[in-house]
Structure 1
Amino acid sequence: MIDFQNASYLKLKPVDPQDGYKKVAPLLIDGENIFAALKSVRDMVIFTDKRIIAVNVQGMLGSKVDYTSLPYSKVQAFSVETAGTFDLDCELELWFSSLGKVKFEIKGNFDIRTLSKLIGNYIL
């Protein structure tokens, strides 16, 4: 479960959405499509057309995995920050009703504006 007191996923890097599909395929509902996948060392965040799925690998061997589903219908507000000349990371912050804020810091070449538009389409 995401700790909403310290809900920050830092230094995520974009990966092929197919890698995300392998992690969450049994959880997807009929017709649900993945449009972005981000990965840290062991954890992953999957953006679908219905929700965000946070994959938290636990334990020394990584055999225990926590899946947290965050539906777009619970997002009250969101903010994006694009990468700059010297700060190459972009950020996405989402405020969920009754839960709090989740922050994603994404490194590398990632089109945060397109992700923002897709999220906007699902919550507005």
Structure 2
Amino acid sequence: MSLLDGILGNAGEMDLEKLESELEEIIIEGEKIEGGYKVLRDYFVFTNKRLILVDKQGVTGKKVEYHSVPYKNIRHFSIESAGTFDRDAELKLWVAGITGPLEKKFGKKSSDILKIQRSLAKYILN
């Protein structure tokens, strides 16, 4: 992910080994990380059990909020692929108890939005 993508709010795919190391105290037994995407300091992670939103706070980023969304609470989701003039792909999630969707943007080259859609469909629709 380039700095410009980060500034524009575009997510870039993260290394699975790094995610496993950073989330070793958060992940439960039997839970497997499927993929993760970073926007500047914050990132979100898809596991086989839930979506984890990680919000690094403050100047140093040492204060961290972990927000877990079980897949059963995702009521609706949509993806929008990148186009010729609109170069960003977009993911929207509607979660029970939250007004309006959670939205994440992906740079055209930084990730495979269809892979994310397949992962969500696998866990939400089964």
**Aligned twin of 1:48:** 47
Secondary structure at 1:53 match in 2: strand
8 Å Cα contact 1:19-1:37 kept in structure 2:
no
Q: Within 1, Cα distance between the matches of 2:12 and 2:71?
A: 22
Question: Percentage identity across aligned positions?
Answer: 36
User: Cα offset for 1:16?
Assistant: 1.5
Residue in 1 aligned with 2:94?
Answer: 95
Query: Secondary structure, in 3 states, of the residue corresponding to 2:59?
Result: coil
Aligned pairs for 1:1-124 within 5 A: 10-100=9-99, 101-107=101-107, 108-124=109-125
Aligned-partner SS, 1:18: helix
| Dislocated runs of 4+, deviation >6 Å | none
Per the TM alignment, residue 15 of structure 1 is displaced from its structure 2 partner at its CA by 1.8
The aligned length equals: 116
Unpaired runs of at least 5, structure 1: 1-9
After TM superposition, give the deviation of residue 88 of structure 1 in Å.
Answer: 2.5
What TM-score do you get using the length of structure 1 for normalisation? 0.85
Instruction: Report the Cα distance in structure 1 between the residues aligned to 2:18 and 2:48, rounded to whole angstroms.
Output: 17
Contact 1:44 1:54 (8 Å CA) reproduced: yes
Amino acid in structure 1 at the alignment position of 2:120? I
Q: Render the CA deviation track for 1:10-44: whole Å, top value 9, x for unaligned.
A: 31111222222222121111111111111111111
Q: Which moved more, 1:112-121 or 1:11-20?
A: 11-20
Q: In angstroms, what is the RMSD of aligned CA positions?
A: 1.6
Q: Find the residue that maps to 2:20 and give its secondary structure.
A: helix
TM-score, with length taken from structure 2: 0.84
* Cα distance in 1 for residues equivalent to 2:13 and 2:23: 16
Alpha-carbon distance in 2 for matches of 1:44, 1:62? 12
